[in-house]
Amino acid sequence: MGTESTENCEDYTTNTSAALLDKLVEECLVNPKQVPAMVRFIHQWLMANESDEHRVEKNLLDLTEALPTDVVMTLLHVAPSCDRAATIMWKTILCSPRTAKPARLRLLDVLGSWPEHSTRTSDGDTTRVFALAATVVVWKILQEPCIPQIVTLYFTRMFVHLLFQAYFSTCDTPEEVDKLWKRCQKEHGFAASPNRFALETLKSLLCRMQCEDVVTAMERKCGWDTLLSADSQHYAVGVLVRVMRSSSTPLSSGIALYLLSLLSMEMPCWDFAALAFIVEVLECLDVSKYGASLLEIISKNLQSECRERRHLALRCLMVLGPMNPPMAKKMWNLTDNLVDILQENNSFTIRMTIVVLQYLFLHNGAPVRSPIALRLAEALLPLFDHHDRQVQLGSITVFEDMIGLLRKNDRKALKTHVWQSVFPLFIHCHDKNPDVAEASRETLICAAKFLKRRDLLQLVKTAELWKFAECLVRTAWKRQAQAGEAP
């Protein structure tokens, strides 16, 4: 009998089949195309023989050691619901020093490829394997009394893949995955949906890592349920990170580093939630080592059309800057993006942007070039009259900082904009809000110095604002007359 005939063999009794295994495995090792058929044969043999799994252990390990990808992918395809025979095979493979590492890595690849993992086995089979099948395997492993090393060595990857599988399956569960899920429910009695099952597996993982307090704290905050809502997932991720930080900083920082490495390679569909995780653990990261990668990711999200992504990017900047003042010079390259955001019709976004700009002006110290200054001035001037007091105050303060940092050669280009700021600043010197009034007065003094108008400067300093108004009107008439006489 050859391996090509094993698929049609209906006799898997101990006496007739076990004697063939050694010879069949030897043949498979010579001809890799026969390995998938052999894996299917072993699975069927185990289904027919409940108490003789030790008879196939050596043969299964020999196959896996030689061709781990073929064995893992075929097993996931043959038994995606991880039945009794498949569970035996997984325990044998993942607990043996001979096969554990390569098998773990391939299982994790599938776990992180929602909804399916594309592969090609040695016999030419290109059937895709579902990530849900790998999740069921992980769930089975976590129920075992002895934890295989995959749990401790690869906790970070397993945590991330399970978290984002819950994210994916909440947003979209393809029909084929739903069919597999119904099969799994029938096989194991699962009552939950695929996304809730992924979270239950994640909870089991945390408990096996002695992080029961994280699971309990999330339940108290209703965080698990929030993770199952597409509209609130990124908020729930932030809650989860804060809970994990209070329990185990090394675990949360390790997860953040793994996410950072993934985001640096590409912009996957789950980078939104990944960024929500990273912003909560920035303080645990080595900014001097990972700052460049962080800024690249932040820059991409600042340019996103999604407002929530921009909010997270701004939050990163608000945390990242004070952690490491030298970062201000690198963050300065993002000024153009920040100026664009200032023109949004959202007070919260503008407030965050102004806070970042204030930090940059405070710690950068380098002269501001005219192209950026012109765009910034055009964006800030309308905000002097903004209905939000914090936006109004912040825009006036940033305008003052910008004037102070302009290069001498670029001052002429900003003269018109500074003149345009004088009248609204004069008006706001009488504002009912004392902070706005004081900021307007200080910025007006700075503007008068910039324009080299000692008369205006003196009137502001002596608080003779009624005379300042008369002087301003005369200046306006004079400038208008000069403009009319110009050729």
Name, of 24-38, 122-136, 271-285, the range with top average pLDDT: 122-136
Give the pLDDT of residue 487.
37
Give the pLDDT of residue 269.
61
Q: How far, in Å, CA of 11 to CA of 203, rounded? A: 42
| Within-domain flag for 111 | yes
Contacts of 119 (CB under 8 A, 6+ apart): 69, 73, 126, 128, 129
Name, of 66-75, 122-131, 142-151, the range with top average pLDDT: 66-75
Share of the chain above pLDDT 70, in %: 86
Write out the two tokens for 469. 């108004």
Query: With 60 as the cut, is the pLDDT of residue 9 above it?
Result: no
Angle of helix 411-428 versus helix 370-380 axis, rounded to 10: 20
Averaged pLDDT, 412-425: 89
| Within-domain flag for 327 | no
| Within-domain flag for 293 | no
Q: How far, in Å, CA of 254 to CA of 252, rounded? A: 5
Contacts of 247 (CB under 8 A, 6+ apart): 211, 213, 214, 217
Q: What is the DSSP letter of 406?
A: B
Q: Residue 5: which pLDDT band, with cuts at 50, 70 and 90?
A: very low
Give the pLDDT of residue 12.
54
Question: Residue-wise over 85-109: b if at least 16 C-beta within 10 A, else e?
Answer: bbbbbbbbbbbbeebbebbbebbbb
Averaged pLDDT, 133-162: 88
Query: With 90 as the cut, is the pLDDT of residue 291 above it?
Result: no
Q: How far, in Å, CA of 44 to CA of 30, rounded? A: 22
Name, of 284-293, 427-436, 459-468, 469-478, the range with top average pLDDT: 427-436
Other beta carbons within 10 Å of 183: 14
- Within 13 Å and on the Cβ side, how many CA atoms surround 287? 19
User: What is the number of structural domains in the chain?
Assistant: 2
Judged by average pLDDT, the poorest of 120-124, 195-199, 217-221, 300-304 is 120-124
**Is the Cβ–Cβ distance between 302 and 334 less than 8 Å?**
yes
Averaged pLDDT, 361-370: 74
Average confidence score pLDDT of the chain: 84
End-of-domain residue from the set 209, 234, 252: 209
Does the pTM surpass 0.85? The reply is: no
Q: Residue 332: which pLDDT band, with cuts at 50, 70 and 90?
A: confident
Angle of helix 249-265 versus helix 155-171 axis, rounded to 10: 60
Share of the chain above pLDDT 90, in %: 40
> What range defines the domain where residue 380 resides?
367-487
| Within-domain flag for 272 | no
Name, of 73-82, 317-326, 424-433, the range with top average pLDDT: 73-82
Averaged pLDDT, 427-438: 91
Task: Give the distance between the most distant pair of CA atoms in the chain.
Answer: 112
Q: How far, in Å, CA of 319 to CA of 433, rounded? A: 29
The string of pLDDT tens digits covering residues 77-101 is 999 999 999 999 999 999 899 999 9
Q: Residue 390: which pLDDT band, with cuts at 50, 70 and 90?
A: very high
Q: Residue 281: which pLDDT band, with cuts at 50, 70 and 90?
A: confident
Helix locations, 209-306, DSSP H: 212-220, 223-227, 233-247, 249-265, 271-280, 287-302
Q: Helix or strand or coil: residue 257? A: helix
End-of-domain residue from the set 177, 209, 241: 209
| Within-domain flag for 95 | yes
Angle of helix 465-485 versus helix 411-428 axis, rounded to 10: 140
| Within-domain flag for 158 | yes
End-of-domain residue from the set 145, 178, 209: 209
| Within-domain flag for 217 | no
Q: Helix or strand or coil: residue 116? A: strand
- Within 13 Å and on the Cβ side, how many CA atoms surround 3? 23
Write out the two tokens for 221. 């905050």
| Within-domain flag for 221 | no
Give the pLDDT of residue 258.
86
Q: Residue 435: which pLDDT band, with cuts at 50, 70 and 90?
A: very high
Judged by average pLDDT, the poorest of 207-216, 314-323, 373-382 is 314-323
Averaged pLDDT, 151-176: 89
